[in-house]
């Protein structure tokens, strides 16, 4: 069995928990997830089965979309609803729709984030959440991420109350912390805030509509119909630039040959998907670091056809 399984991750499970449960359901070991989702977050978690584990990193690197909820008026230790209250400041005057939209617009594009203490980022070989659990505050490296778009999902013209809650939809790059984005939204409005709910609605080309629950997967595993819902490896690579080759060149690719970069890909950066005559991606290439005009294989995905 091989391919991409679009799983709907339920609340309360880590990404590792999901992999562990699927190994038992599908009775196979070669399974990997495509980037950590916090236990409180639900939604799209692409799971790679068999040979498709080779392309997990390319789904992780692809853009993601979320629908979230920010609560303004108090912050938490974890930046989400699972943490203890860290700071309170009641909203003293109404906030207008235009104020919120201006803040969202100001956070669109490339922004700098500092990962939360309760996160899996490593500092000096140790994950931040391990320091946090010991009550140790360490200096965290900031990172640049990209917010492609952010949209207010609330029709109100005015937001009033001691605590204010509204929903938003965001499309972003790898490495973005939506928890931290919620805190930044509150900060720009002048108040402590946290992310009170989050659903991942898209990862690479996979959406919520594509996803199966654990119950649906168990049912299909019993009936032997899993192959009907698995996506090919190509689903993980749809966002990459493509170079289509003939069968003669394909044989060279399967043996790891260096190729000339075609004109239409000369100015690209990052990985390139090498596609055979049947539309299957045979390998992932990148620009050669020492030989201008050439590209070399990073991963050969299919060398047995």
Any idea which residues carry the catalytic annotation? 38
Beta bridge partners of residue 158, listed in sequence order: 96
Give residues with Cβ within 8 angstroms of 238, minimum separation 6: 204, 205
Q: Are 300 and 254 in contact (CB under 8 A)?
A: yes
Distances (CA, A) of 10 to 18, 56, 160, 224, 228: 9, 20, 32, 23, 22
């Amino acid at each position: 069995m091989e391919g991409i399984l679009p799983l709907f991750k339920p609340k309360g499970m880590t990404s590792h928990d999901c992999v562990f449960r699927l190994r038992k359901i599908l009775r196979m070991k070669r399974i990997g997830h495509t980037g950590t989702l916090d236990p409180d977050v639900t939604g799209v978690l692409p799971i790679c089965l068999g040979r498709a584990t080779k392309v997990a990193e390319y789904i992780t690197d692809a853009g993601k979309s979320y629908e979230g909820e920010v609560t303004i008026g108090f912050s938490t230790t974890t930046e989400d609803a699972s943490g203890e209250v860290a700071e309170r400041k009641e909203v003293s005057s109404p906030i207008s729709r235009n104020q919120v939209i201006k803040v969202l617009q100001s956070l669109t594009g490339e922004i700098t984030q500092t990962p939360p203490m309760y996160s899996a980022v490593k500092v000096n070989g140790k994950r931040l959440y391990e320091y946090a659990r010991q009550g140790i505050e360490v200096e965290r490296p900031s990172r640049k991420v990209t917010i492609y778009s952010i949209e207010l999902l609330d029709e109100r013209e005015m937001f009033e109350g001691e605590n204010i809650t509204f929903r938003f939809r965001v499309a972003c790059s790898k490495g973005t912390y939506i928890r931290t984005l919620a805190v930044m939204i509150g900060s720009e409005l002048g108040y402590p805030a946290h992310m009170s709910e989050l659903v991942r609605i898209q990862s690479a080309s996979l959406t919520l509509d594509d996803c199966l629950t654990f119950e649906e997967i168990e049912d299909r595993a019993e009936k032997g119909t899993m192959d009907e819902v698995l996506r090919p490896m190509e689903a993980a690579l749809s966002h990459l630039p493509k170079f289509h080759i003939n069968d003669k060149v394909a044989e060279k690719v399967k043996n790891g040959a260096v190729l000339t970069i075609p004109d239409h890909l000369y100015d690209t950066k990052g990985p390139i998907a090498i596609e055979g005559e049947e539309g299957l991606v045979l390998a992932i290439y990148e620009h050669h670091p020492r030989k201008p005009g050439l590209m070399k294989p990073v991963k050969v995905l299919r060398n047995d056809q």
